[in-house]
Amino acid sequence: MKFYEIFKQKLNEAGYKLTTQRRVVFEVIGANEGKHFSPEEIYDIVKVDHPEIGLATVYRTLKLFEKIGIIYRLNFNDGCSRFEMSHLDDESHRHHHLVCIECGKILEVKIDSLQELESYVEKEYSFDIHNHTLKFFGLCSDCKKRRNKCKKESTES
Amino acid sequence: MKFYEIFKQKLNEAGYKLTTQRRVVFEVIGANEGKHFSPEEIYDIVKVDHPEIGLATVYRTLKLFEKIGIIYRLNFNDGCSRFEMSHLDDESHRHHHLVCIECGKILEVKIDSLQELESYVEKEYSFDIHNHTLKFFGLCSDCKKRRNKCKKESTES
DNA sequence: ACTCTTGTTGATAATAAAAATCAAATAAGA
DNA sequence: TCTTATTTGATTTTTATTATCAACAAGAGT
Ligand SMILES: [Zn+2]
Ligand SMILES: [Zn+2]
Ligand SMILES: [Zn+2]
Ligand SMILES: [Zn+2]
């Protein structure tokens, strides 16, 4: 798969080193499409073949991957962040999530409308929609201006 | 406003008492439409007129309000839950949020499309969309069945 | 208004996710 | 290989949220 090449490239572009720990975490997430792992869950999988890797490193790595656009951070209101690979080679594949308020099961939806989507989902997945949430992440006009003016003292967050 | 009457009714229907603490928290949220307060922020406002009310009560009350549908819990990935009044008398008013990834500012969007919405937002708000998240909350087919069969031993979560 | 019962509260301790610390280890370029 | 800035593992710290529990108060019935 070429995901790995893109991953290495993104790391490099951002000025980060390719370490064993980062490669291993990347592989765990990449090998589990459709899953939405928490840091602890990823840590448990990583430990099997690499017991020397620490939990703190998993947290750090996930934060870094999110920052450089390798993964998405998801929130299902279950007390922790969850992560999935971002579709590096096809950004249009961004999918939506169905969260069961009873059993917590998470289903993925591969289409991108909303009005149609709701009725489609209710029928096709036999899912009773109680609520939905839509968020946009981006830059407001103020920050676009500010970002253009002062590109100098850009330090890490 | 009739919000308060609906609030009292919902509390009553669910078998909860109307306490001073609950009334005060309700008033703080109701008097701040367009805001998205964290528990701590609500606590700070509540304290001004009611220093006897404790933080734990604010957390408990918010959780209760969410459960009976008085408020929505929002997540902007800033380390805490945030809350806003649900539109009790007009459910169709559910709005969407613009979250600036730089300054954290939150803007509200009052329309309900998505494809049109994206281009509308980019122009009208001069906002660069980097990402969006859509979640549906509801019941999957399995749980609908299960819920129909065993409505007996329904205890609190 | 008084009582009784049960839900509720305030103060505090307990949890748990995530971040910070820091000496030791290591990737990557010369 | 050597150098050096980056990264890591183990651990502690931080902080949002929940649990605990005795004291308290809402609301139904008298
Ligand atoms: Zn997904
Ligand atoms: Zn379910
Ligand atoms: Zn809002
Ligand atoms: Zn901004």
- Say whether both B81 and B114 belong to one domain: no
pLDDT digits (tens, 9 = 90+) for A12-47: 999 999 999 999 999 999 999 999 999 999 999 999
Which is more confidently placed, B105 or A44? A44
User: In this structure, are B84 and B115 located in the same domain?
Assistant: no
Distance of alpha carbon A61 from alpha carbon A75, whole angstroms: 18
For residue B145, is pLDDT > 60?
Answer: yes
DSSP string, A88-134: TT-GGG--EEEEETTT--EEEE----SHHHHHHHHHHS--EEEEEEE
- Which pTM value belongs to this model? 0.83
CA A65 to C1' C18, whole Å:
16
Q: Is residue B123 located within the same domain as residue B56?
A: no
Q: What distances in angstroms separate CA A5 from CA A2, A10, A96, A157, one per listed residue?
A: 5, 9, 26, 26
- pLDDT-derived band at B153, boundaries 50, 70, 90: very low
Residues B100, B84 share a domain: no
Question: Containing domain of residue A33, as a range?
Answer: 1-90
**CATH number of the CATH domain containing A25:** 1.10.10.10
Domain-terminating residue out of A73, A90, A107: A90
CA angle A132/B6/B62 to nearest 5° reads 60
Q: Residue for token digits 């009052």?
A: B110
Out of B58, B90, B122, a domain closes at B90
pLDDT at A121: 75
What's the pLDDT tens digit per position in B106-143? 878 776 556 676 787 788 878 887 766 777 777 787 77
pLDDT value for A93: 59
Q: Residues B67, B99: one domain?
A: no
Q: Are residues B124 and B147 in the same domain?
A: yes
Instruction: Dump pLDDT digits (tens) for B58-79.
Output: 999 999 999 999 999 999 889 9
Say if residue B74 is in the same domain as residue B114: no
The answer on A99 and A34 residing in a single domain is no
Domain at A110, CATH number: 3.30.1490.190
Residues 119-148 of A with CB under 7 A from strand C: none
Nucleotide nearest to A54 (CA to C1'): D9
Domain count, chain B: 2
With cut-offs at 50, 70 and 90, classify the pLDDT of residue A94: low
- Residues B27-50: tens digit of each pLDDT: 999 999 999 999 999 999 999 999
Q: Do residues B116 and B72 both lie within one domain?
A: no
Residues 25-64 in A contacting B (C-alpha not used; CB under 8 Å): none
Give helix A3-13 / helix A20-30 axis angle, nearest 10°: 140
Q: Of the candidates A57, A90, A123, which is a domain's last residue?
A: A90
Is the CB of A127 inside 8 Å of chain B's CB atoms?
Answer: yes
Q: What is the pLDDT of residue A153?
A: 47
As a whole number, the mean pLDDT across chain A is: 84
Nucleotide nearest to B50 (CA to C1'): C10
Euclidean distance between CA atoms B66 and B10, whole angstroms: 11
Examine the pLDDT at A157 and tell me if it is beyond 90: no
C-alpha to C-alpha distance for A104 and B137, rounded to whole angstroms: 10
B72, B13: one domain: yes
Of A29, A22, A12, A33, the closest CA to residue A60 belongs to A22
More confident residue, A116 or B22: B22
C-alpha span between A22 and A68 (Å, rounded): 13
